[in-house]
Structure 1
Amino acid sequence: MRTLGTINQFLGITVLPTSTGLLLQQTRYAEEILARAGMTNSKPVSTPSIPKAVAENSSEQFGNPKLYRQIVGALQYLTVTRPDLSYVVNRACQQMHQPMVSDFEALKRILRYLQGTIQHGLPINGDSLVLKSYVDSDWAGDHTDRKSTTGFCNFLGTSLVSWSVKKQTTIARSSTEAEYQAIASVTMEIIWLRQLLNELGCSQIEPTKLYCDNTSAIALANNPVYHARTKHIEIDCHFIRDCIKNGSIQVHYISTQDQLADLFTKALPSTRFKFLVNQLITRIDSSDCRGY
C-alpha cells in the first residue's frame, strides 16, 4: 500500500470534504445517464415512483428493450451513493427480461426524479462507531407473485454504511413470517459488519441494536417456546435466537413512523418519502464543502 494523497475520485465517485466529514456523490455519472436517455431537460418530480394503489400497468411491450436495460443497468451503480433510488431500481430490474411500455414510463419517472436531485450525495461522518440497524418488509407487496420485499439499512453512528432491497425467495404466509425472513437477512449482514469492524480495530462491545416495527416478529425472536404455526420457519428462528443469545444483536421495537427501512420496501407518498430521504442523504452545499 502507498499514500496517494487526499482522495478526490474513486471508481467514478466524487469525494468531497465537508465540515463534518465527507460527502460521496455521482453527479457527473447521473448527468451521463440522463444524457443517454435524452432527458437532460426533463421536468423534475418529487418522488421516483407513485403509490402502487394508483400505478397503471400496460400489456404493450416496449419497443426498445436494449435501451431500457442499459439505463436500468447504469442506475444500479448509481445506487452506490443514492439509497433513495434502491427500491425503484430494484423494481425496474425485475422487468429487464421483457419491459412493457408502463415499465419504461416508470423508468422515465425515476430519471425525472434524478434530474431534480442530481446534486444529492451520501454523507459520511466520524461522530460515532456504534453499529445499529433498521429492517422492514412489505408483506405480499408484489401483486404478480405475492412475494414480499425485504429492506434494511445499517448505520455506523449517523453514517449509512450498507443497505439492501431484495424480493424474498419464498411466499410468506403472514406479515410476521415476512418480517422474520427480513430480520434473518439483516442479521447475516450485521454479523459480517461486526467481524469487519473488529478486524479494523473498532470492536462492537455491545449487541447491535436492530429496530423492527413488527411486535409479533420481535416476540417470536425473543421467545424460545416452540410454535407449531411457525415450524416452517424454524431454521430462521434458531439462527436469530442464537444471535440474540450470543450477544450479536438485540431486537427492539420502533414505531412505523420512525422506521427508516420503510424507504426500501414500498412506494411512498411524497411527504413520507422526503422525510425518510432527508435522514439518509443530503444535497451538496458548496458553502459546506472545503475545496469544492
Structure 2
Amino acid sequence: MRDLSNLHQFLGITAESHPNGLLLQQSQYAEDILRRAGMQNSKEVATPISIKTPQSSASPDFSNPTLYRQLVGALQYLTLTRPDITYAVNKACQHMHSPTDQHFDALKRILRYLRGTVHYGLPITGSSMNLRSYVDSDWAGDQQDRKSTTGYCNFLGNTLISWSVKKQTTIARSSTEAEYRAIAAVTTEIIWLRRLLEEFGFAQTSPTILYCDNTSAIVLANNPVYHARTKHIEVDCHFIRECIKNQSIQVHHISSKDQLADFFTKSLSISRFKLLVSKMLTSGASACRRVLNDKDIDYSKNNKTHI
C-alpha cells in the first residue's frame, strides 16, 4: 500500500473537501449518461417520477431495448450517491427484460430530472456516531402484481450511510404485514451495521432507534402474544422481537410527515419530494450546508418526536 494523499476520485466518485466534511458526487458520470442518451439539453423536471403514472398495456415495445438496459444500468451505479432517484430507478429496473415506449418515457423523465440536479451529492459530515433508521412500506403499490415496496435509510449522526428500495417477494394481505416485513428487512441491515461499527471501534452502546409510521406494526413488534392472523409472518416476528429483547433495536413511532424513508416507497408531490431531498443531499455549490440542519432526535419522556 502507498499514500496517495487526500481522496479526490474513486471509481468515478468525486470527493470534494469542505470545512464541514466531504461531498461525494458523480456529476461527471451523470453528464456522461445524459450524453449517451442524447439529452444534454433536455428540459428539466422537478421530480424523477410522476405522481400519476399511466398503466397502459397497449404501449408498443421499445425499438432499442439494449439502450434502455444500458441507461438503467448506468443509473443504478449513480444511485451510490443519489438516493433521490433510487425509487424511480428501481421501477425502471423492473422492465429491463421487455421495455415499452411507455417505460422509456418514464426513463427519460429520470434523465430530465438528472439534468437539473447533476451537481447534487451526498454530504459526509463529522457528527455523532449514533445509528438511527427510518423504514416505510407502500402497501400493494405495484399496479401489476399488487406487491408492496420496502424502503429504508440509515443515518450515522447526520450522515446518510445506507438506503434501499426493494419490492417485497410476497403479496402482503394488510398494510401491517407490509410494514412488518419492511421492519424485518431494515433490522437485518441494522445488525450488520452495528457489527461493522463495532469492528471500527464505534460500538453502539444503546439500541438503534428505528422509526416506523405504522402503529399496528409497532404494537405487533412489541407484543409477545401470537395471533392466528400473524402466523404466516411468524419467522419475521421471532427475528424482530429477539432483536428488541437483546436491545439491538427499538421501534419508535414517527408521524408520516416526518418519515424520511417516504420517497423510497412512492412518488411524491414536488413540495414533499424537495423537502425530503433537502434533508439528505446538497448541491456542490452549497456543500454540506443544508443537509439535516435539524438536530438529532429528541427522545422525551412523553415520546414526542422532534425533527
Measured against the shorter chain, the TM-score band is: over 0.9
1:55 Cα deviation (Å)?
3.0
Give runs of aligned pairs for residues 217-232 of structure 1, distance below 5 A: 217-232=217-232
Which residue of structure 2 lines up, in the alignment, with residue 204 of structure 1? 204
Which residue of structure 2 lines up, in the alignment, with residue 34 of structure 1? 34
Give runs of aligned pairs for residues 207-286 of structure 1, distance below 5 A: 207-285=207-285
Deviations 1:233-292 (A, max 9, x none): 000001000000001000000000000101100111111110111111001117889xxx
DSSP-derived class of the 1:59 partner: coil
Give runs of aligned pairs for residues 131-210 of structure 1, distance below 5 A: 131-210=131-210
Which residue of structure 1 lines up, in the alignment, with residue 54 of structure 2? 55
Cα distance in 2 for partners of 1:2, 1:219 equals 53
DSSP-derived class of the 1:243 partner: helix
Which residue of structure 2 lines up, in the alignment, with residue 77 of structure 1? 77
Name the amino acid aligned to 1:35: R
Aligned residues: 288
Cα distance in 1 for partners of 2:287, 2:178 equals 44
> Structure 1 139/24 Cα, relative in aligned 2: closer, same or farther at 3 Å?
same
> Structure 1 242/288 Cα, relative in aligned 2: closer, same or farther at 3 Å?
closer
> Structure 1 173/279 Cα, relative in aligned 2: closer, same or farther at 3 Å?
same
Name the amino acid aligned to 1:207: P
Deviations 1:96-120 (A, max 9, x none): 0000110000000000000000010
1:60 Cα deviation (Å)?
1.0
DSSP-derived class of the 1:211 partner: strand
Which residue of structure 1 lines up, in the alignment, with residue 45 of structure 2? 45
1:3 Cα deviation (Å)?
2.4
Deviations 1:81-105 (A, max 9, x none): 0000100000000000000110000
Name the amino acid aligned to 2:283: R
Deviations 1:40-61 (A, max 9, x none): 0001100011113x53535211
Cα distance in 2 for partners of 1:286, 1:226 equals 51
Tell whether the 8 Å contact from 2:23 to 2:288 is kept in structure 1 after alignment: no
Mean alpha-carbon deviation: is it higher for 223-232 or for 210-219?
223-232
1:121 Cα deviation (Å)?
0.2
Tell whether the 8 Å contact from 2:134 to 2:153 is kept in structure 1 after alignment: yes
Name the amino acid aligned to 1:283: S
Gapped runs of 5+ residues in structure 1? none
Cα distance in 2 for partners of 1:281, 1:170 equals 32
TM-score, reference length from structure 1: 0.96
Name the amino acid aligned to 2:178: A
| 1:9 and 2:9 correspond | yes
Cα distance in 2 for partners of 1:12, 1:215 equals 42
Deviations 1:189-208 (A, max 9, x none): 00000000000000000000
Name the amino acid aligned to 2:215: T
Deviations 1:149-193 (A, max 9, x none): 000000000000000000000000000000000000000000000
Cα distance in 1 for partners of 2:140, 2:60 equals 25
1:19 Cα deviation (Å)?
1.7
1:126 Cα deviation (Å)?
0.9
Deviations 1:62-99 (A, max 9, x none): 11101000000000000000000100000000000000
Name the amino acid aligned to 1:55: P
TM-score, reference length from structure 2: 0.92
Which residue of structure 2 lines up, in the alignment, with residue 116 of structure 1? 116
Which residue of structure 1 lines up, in the alignment, with residue 90 of structure 2? 90
DSSP-derived class of the 1:103 partner: helix
- State, as a whole percentage, how many aligned pairs show the same letter: 68
> Structure 1 288/153 Cα, relative in aligned 2: closer, same or farther at 3 Å?
closer
Which protein has greater RCO, CA pairs closer than 8 Å, 6+ apart? 1
> Structure 1 80/288 Cα, relative in aligned 2: closer, same or farther at 3 Å?
closer
DSSP-derived class of the 1:280 partner: coil
Tell whether the 8 Å contact from 2:207 to 2:247 is kept in structure 1 after alignment: yes
Name the amino acid aligned to 1:226: Y
Cα distance in 2 for partners of 1:243, 1:286 equals 40
Gapped runs of 5+ residues in structure 2? 290-307
Cα distance in 2 for partners of 1:193, 1:108 equals 35
DSSP-derived class of the 2:165 partner: strand
